[in-house]
Amino acid sequence: MSQNQTNWDEEAMANYDKALAINPDDYSAWNNKGIALARVGQSEEAVASFDKAL
């Protein structure tokens, strides 16, 4: 994965955290955060995010 992609994923995760602070039941934000976490190799955190999306 390129450094640019990693930076984008990290920025995206920060934005998902902001969205989830406003609406912790936003399943789409949880799902997208899980995707970003998986892409940067944080598998356990990704699974936790996917679980919250369900």
Per-residue pLDDT reduced to its tens digit, 3-28: 666 688 888 989 999 999 999 999 99
Q: pTM above the 0.75 mark?
A: yes
Please report how many Cα atoms fall inside a 13 Å half-sphere around the Cα of residue 16, on the Cβ side: 22
H helix count then E strand count, the chain: 3, 0
Query: How many domains, the chain?
Result: 1
Q: What is the CATH number of the domain that holds 18?
A: 1.25.40.10
CA 41 – CA 28 distance, rounded (Å): 20
In 10 A of CB 30, how many CB atoms?
Answer: 20
Expressed as residue numbers, the domain containing 38 is 3-53
Q: What is the pLDDT of residue 5?
A: 67
For residue 2, is pLDDT > 90? no
CA 52 – CA 34 distance, rounded (Å): 9
